[in-house]
Homo-oligomer: A and B are copies of this chain.
Amino acid sequence: MGNLLVVGSVAFDSVKTPFGEVSNVLGGSATYFSTSASFFTQVDLIAVVGDDFPNEHLQFLSSRGINLEGLERRPGKTFRWRGEYSYQLNEAQTLETHLNVLETFRPKIPTPFTTPTALFLGNIDPELQLDVLNKVTRPSVVALDTMNFWIDSKRDALWKVLEKIDILIINDGEARALGQDPNLVQVAKTILSRGPKTVIIKRGEYGVLMFHHKGVFGAPAYPLEAVKDPTGAGDTFAGGFMGYLTASGNYSESGLRQAIIFGSVMASFNVEAFSLDRMKRLTREEIDERFRAFKHLTHFDNLS
């Protein structure tokens, strides 16, 4: 089992969906990512919180075996996000964003974290992503997430870090913006020609596509009877994907395919409840059971 280093955000979220509403609950991309990954491998977290961040949340993350040595506590408030979803659950409407301590965040990497097996550069300024990558011994696998804000405002810096990573994990709208083409196959070709060996495109309730020189892999999302809150689904996917990959050490295309299913499994659980509530009571047995359910969901017989 290797160790997986992640840098990203820890936040307080306030979320309203047609199925309920929560205020100032635990959230943030790195929180969802590391909790999800912790079901598979050792996770080292780099992030920042304010002095308003309660011990209860720290205890939860510790209880998942996540190493919090790189979780900086600074005077001030923790990053806060408020959003709302309509019945069309695929996209959040952001109502408020208060960066707070995240605004001046400069990731510091504790010495024991500088030789990770795998690295996930969560959605932060691409210049900071490159800085983190430069400060560690090159891991076996480096993945990166980003968003439209950086694609629009720091395109050159983003391409600079993309040239040095292995796997880009991105949603479809962001992929089209980055590749400047409406066709995802073309977009993937463009990206693959500039560095990353694998491009994973998240399509929310419609599943995932993976582009790799050995071929394309497509997986539907797991059809759920009750989706309560899609917040963190993409980060939970990435956490399951990277967690399984780090633990298995199998970076072949077939290993990547299995990792995508584990990522999809984790995301499918996460959306069943608000915040990380479903993650808090999830078991490894449930994860493997849903992996097998994905196999049944997608299987069809070959031509005889």
Contact = CB atoms under 8 A, between A and B. Distances in A.
Interface string A196-223: 0000000100110100000111111101
A110 interface: no
Interface stretch (A124-132, A136-144, A177-185): A177-185
A47 to B, nearest CB: 32
A297 B225 contact: no
Interface centre among A18, A189, A218, A296 (most CB of B within 10 A): A218
Contact of A219 (B220, B288, B303): B220
Interface residues of A, number: 43
B291 A295 contact: no
19 contacts: A87-B182, A89-B182, A184-B223, A185-B224, A186-B225, A203-B206, A206-B206, A206-B207, A209-B220, A217-B297, A217-B298, A218-B297, A218-B298, A254-B300, A257-B300, A257-B301, A258-B303, A260-B300, A288-B303
Contacts of A301: 254, 257-258
Contacts of A217: 297-298, 300
A180 to B, nearest CB: 12
Interface string A98-133: 000000000000000000000000000000000000
Contacts of A283: none
B207 A218 contact: yes
B288 A295 contact: no
Contacts of A88: 182
A292 interface: yes
Contacts of A95: none
A261 interface: yes
A258 B300 contact: yes
Contacts of A227: 183
Contacts of A261: 300
Nearest to A211: B223
A283 to B, nearest CB: 15
Contacts of A303: 258, 288, 291-292
Contact of A216 (B185, B186, B216, B297): B297
Interface in A262-302: 288, 291-292, 295-302
Interface in A127-181: none
